[in-house]
């Protein structure tokens, strides 16, 4: 293979190379400077530290007249010809200068003969290598000139670049406003400045919001550290007991010096008259800048507007700020301002998401008769508090209560919005007193109307404390667990059903016993399923955990409901939080049969009188004679109203718990409305009396009529 005459010239020792005639240059052939001059002597020959006839060991074992194939190839004329240069052009250089340029380029690349010579390199090459070493960090071996005056600027520039990189990374690590400002202060004090004051707009505009007037800056944070020199100990940084004084608030006047500096956006030194006036306006007239301090005022500009300012201060005994320090201040101010902008936007989004999630879930659970409730909700992560899990407890007519737990696919604002719509739909359907399977059927239709791929699972149960029964329908949700009073925990056999949103699927409900003292646990799959275990393994672990907790309280006592919920959540390990968790626990107390009185009344004129007599006997049996007059009056009014519109027998039921509850049902779907009767009206005052005498009252429409109820305190 033919090699270029100068491509490997430095690979053979100079002492063993024979003198070769200089090949005519193409420039000379083109009519340049005539014959080519003699070859430039090698710098090795002029090395004063080495004799001219010195031969390296590798050269000594090689005959002087030995010629390598590469040298023979160099002796031949090159097949590649350079185009002839025109005489007098700027590119027509003397041949000797061109040869020297090639050797200098070889030295800079480290491939020419001079790169291996022991003589000092050229000054220009020294500076180039010093700059490269300084930019790389200066951790390599010392080079000639690296510690001299010429290498000092490059070293300082490298230190400055490393500082900017570390400081911006520290600022970028912050997620909220305080972390970003603290990161700026910790990164710059005392490395870049002795003190820093960070002012931010008050209030801070969010996104594209127009800032409120007037333009007010509030001192968000100020840091000042000093280096202590204690005898026998290493110097350390401690807070300066005399921090730089500054005003808490500063109103930026339109057309003032501070407004002009902030409008310029770029950092400025504090030694000019205009900037001194701006600093005086920022710090306040009562807090002048200490004598001898140097300052840099850097506006903090976000994506659209100036949102604050940062003041970097140095004491008199420290070197003053340099022009390159303005570039450092600009980088720090830019990263800080953009980080603050993003933090404010993130804070607003997190607040909206948190409020949305909070409003979608019940603020507090009701306390219906015969059942105690407790709940827990855990988001998948603190940084993403929005999810599609929900729970609810809805009081129903007849002292019943509906228990609902659901889970919408996804962890986004859309999932939370769909969850809110489904929860509202479930509340509306529960108010119609529909069977659980019908409620799930209508929820499935609603999910399909909301759009495609709106999938959710749901468990809907209705508990009747009088009959001690519970009716459950399931739509693709994990099965509930019933913890009995003796400590036995069982997974209820409930038809799984299809998730809500599939469409065209029938749901099935089952009716089970709900003995007094038992606890029903409804939950979402985030409690029992994770990357480390499948859902059925998690359900079995949950069942064992409930049984173990119940064993601690004994066979005759149920574990406290709130403590039971906390203990269930403690079973989650570090890798088990992959999804939201909604938990609803219901302790069934029920209503004893002796505390229930139930009658049927024919819809006739004698029904109100019979209702009064039956109520009086029940109150006497319960030792509640002090309520007789009020109960007789209210029962008479409500039964009279029911008889007027009913066609079938009217039901009357009294329940004694912590309150006395009276329920009157009929087959008319028309709900009564309270109105103010005129003086000439003969009727219309019944519900007015109920509203004045009863503790609470209400009317609920059923699938086959309505129920009007009222409550009176028993103590």
Please say if the pLDDT value at position 410 is more than 80: no
Residues sharing a CB contact under 8 Å with residue 146, sequence separation 6 or more, in sequence order = 129, 130, 133, 134, 138
Taking only the tens place, the pLDDT of each residue in 40-49 is: 344 443 443 4
Beta bridge partners of 198: 221, 310
Query: 472 is written with which tokens?
Result: 């459950």
| Among candidate residues 381, 387, 383, 389, the one with its CA nearest the CA of residue 412 | 387
Burial category of 448 from C-beta neighbours within 10 Å (exposed 0-12, middle 13-18, buried 19 and up): middle
DSSP assigned state of 653: E
pLDDT of residue 79: 45
Q: Residue 219 to residues 245, 333, 563: CA-CA distances in angstroms?
A: 11, 16, 45
Place of tokens 């603190």: 382
pLDDT, the chain, mean: 77
Q: Are 131 and 108 in contact (CB under 8 A)?
A: no
pLDDT of residue 104: 46
CB 128 within 8 A of CB 108: yes
Question: Ranked by mean pLDDT, which of 384-398, 463-477, 544-558 comes out on top?
Answer: 463-477
pLDDT (0 to 100) of residue 677 = 61
Query: What pLDDT is stored for residue 684 in this prediction?
Result: 63
Instruction: Work out the average pLDDT over 22-50.
Output: 41
Q: Is 0.85 topped by the overall pTM?
A: no
Residues 130 and 150: their CA atoms lie apart, in Å, by 8
Q: Is 31 left (phi over 0), alpha (psi -120 to 50) or beta?
A: left
Q: Per-residue DSSP letters for 682-714?
A: SS--HHHHHHHH-SEEEEEEETTEEEEEEEEE-
CB 201 within 8 A of CB 248: no
**pLDDT tens-digit profile of 135-161?**
333 333 333 334 455 678 788 888 888
More confident: 209 or 250: 250
Residue pLDDT, tens place only, 171-215: 888 888 889 999 999 888 888 888 888 999 888 888 777 777 788
Average pLDDT over residues 463-491: 94
Predicted confidence (pLDDT) per residue in 480-496, tens digit? 999 998 889 999 999 98
The secondary structure of residue 384, as a DSSP letter, is: B
Query: Hey, is 390 helix, strand or coil?
Result: strand
Residue 419: what are its φ and ψ, rounded to 5°?
-60, -40
Residue 261 near residue 270 (C-beta atoms within 8 A): no
Residue 239: pLDDT band with limits 50, 70, 90: low
Q: 685 or 623: which carries more pLDDT confidence? A: 623
State percent of the chain over pLDDT 90. Answer: 32
Terminal CA-CA length for the chain: 113
């Amino acid at each position: 293979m033919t090699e270029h005459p100068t491509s490997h010239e430095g690979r053979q020792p100079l002492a063993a190379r024979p003198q070769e005639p200089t090949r005519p240059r193409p420039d000379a052939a083109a009519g340049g400077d005539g014959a080519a001059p003699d070859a430039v002597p090698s710098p090795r020959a002029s090395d004063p530290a080495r004799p001219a006839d010195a031969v390296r060991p590798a050269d000594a074992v090689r005959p002087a007249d030995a010629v390598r194939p590469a040298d023979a190839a160099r002796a031949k004329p090159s097949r590649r010809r350079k185009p002839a240069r025109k005489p007098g052009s700027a590119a027509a250089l003397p041949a000797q200068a061109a040869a020297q340029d090639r050797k200098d380029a070889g030295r800079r690349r480290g491939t020419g003969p001079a790169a291996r010579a022991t003589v000092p390199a050229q000054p220009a090459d020294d500076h180039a290598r010093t700059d490269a070493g300084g930019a790389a960090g200066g951790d390599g071996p010392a080079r000639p000139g690296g510690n001299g005056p010429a290498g000092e600027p490059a070293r300082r520039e490298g230190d400055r670049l490393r500082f900017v990189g570390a400081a911006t990374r520290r600022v970028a690590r912050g997620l909220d406003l305080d972390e970003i400002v603290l990161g700026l202060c910790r990164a710059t004090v005392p490395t870049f400045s002795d003190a820093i004051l960070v002012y931010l707009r008050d209030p801070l505009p969010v996104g594209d919001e127009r800032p409120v007037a007037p333009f007010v800056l509030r001192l968000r944070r100020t840091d000042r550290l000093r280096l202590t020199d204690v005898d026998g100990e290493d110097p350390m940084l401690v807070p300066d007991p005399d921090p730089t004084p500054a005003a808490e608030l500063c109103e930026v006047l339109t057309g003032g010096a501070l407004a002009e500096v902030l409008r310029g956006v770029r950092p400025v030194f504090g030694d000019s008259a205009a900037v001194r006036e701006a600093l005086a306006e920022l710090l306040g007239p009562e807090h002048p800048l200490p004598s001898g301090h140097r300052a840099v005022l850097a506006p903090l500009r976000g994506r659209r507007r100036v949102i604050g300012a940062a003041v970097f201060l140095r004491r008199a005994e420290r070197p003053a700020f340099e022009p390159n320090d303005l570039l450092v201040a600009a980088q720090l101010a830019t990263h800080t301002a953009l980080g603050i902008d993003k933090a404010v936007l993130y804070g607003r989004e997190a607040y909206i998401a948190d409020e949305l999630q909070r409003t979608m879930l019940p603020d507090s659970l009701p306390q219906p008769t015969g059942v105690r409730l407790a709940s827990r909700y855990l988001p998948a992560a603190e940084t993403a508090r929005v999810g599609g899990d929900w729970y609810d407890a809805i009081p129903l007519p007849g002292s019943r209560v509906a228990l609902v737990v659901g889970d919408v696919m996804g962890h986004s604002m859309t999932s939370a919005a769909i969850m809110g719509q489904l929860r509202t739909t479930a509340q509306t359907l529960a108010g119609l007193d529909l069977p659980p399977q019908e409620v799930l059927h209508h929820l499935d239709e609603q999910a399909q109307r909301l759009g495609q791929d709106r999938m959710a699972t749901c468990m809907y149960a209705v508990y009747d404390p009088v009959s001690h029964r519970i009716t459950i329908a399931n739509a693709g949700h994990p099965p509930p667990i019933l913890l009995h009073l003796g400590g036995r925990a069982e997974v209820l056999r409930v038809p799984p059903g299809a998730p809500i949103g599939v469409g065209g699927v029938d749901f099935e409900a089952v009716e089970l016993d709900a003995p007094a003292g038992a606890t029903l646990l409804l939950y979402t799959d985030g409690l029992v399923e994770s990357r480390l275990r499948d859902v059925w393994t998690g359900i079995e672990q949950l069942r064992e955990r409930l049984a173990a907790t119940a064993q601690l309280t004994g066979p005759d006592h149920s574990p406290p409901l709130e403590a039971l919920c906390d203990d269930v959540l403690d079973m989650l390990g570090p890798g088990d939080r992959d999804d939201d968790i909604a938990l609803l626990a219901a302790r069934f107390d029920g209503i004893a049969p002796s505390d229930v009185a139930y009658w049927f009344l024919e819809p006739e004129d004698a029904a109100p009188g019979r209702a009064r007599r039956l109520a009086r006997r029940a109150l006497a049996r319960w030792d509640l004679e002090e309520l007789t007059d009020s109960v007789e009056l209210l029962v008479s009014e409500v039964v009279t109203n029911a008889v007027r519109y009913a066609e079938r027998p009217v039901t009357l039921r009294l329940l004694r718990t912590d309150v006395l509850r009276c329920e009157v049902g009929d087959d008319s779907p028309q709900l009564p409305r309270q109105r103010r009767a005129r003086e000439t009206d003969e009727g219309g005052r019944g519900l007015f009396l109920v509203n004045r005498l009863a503790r609470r009252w209400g009317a609920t429409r059923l699938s086959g009529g309505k129920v009007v109820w009222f409550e009176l305190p028993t103590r």
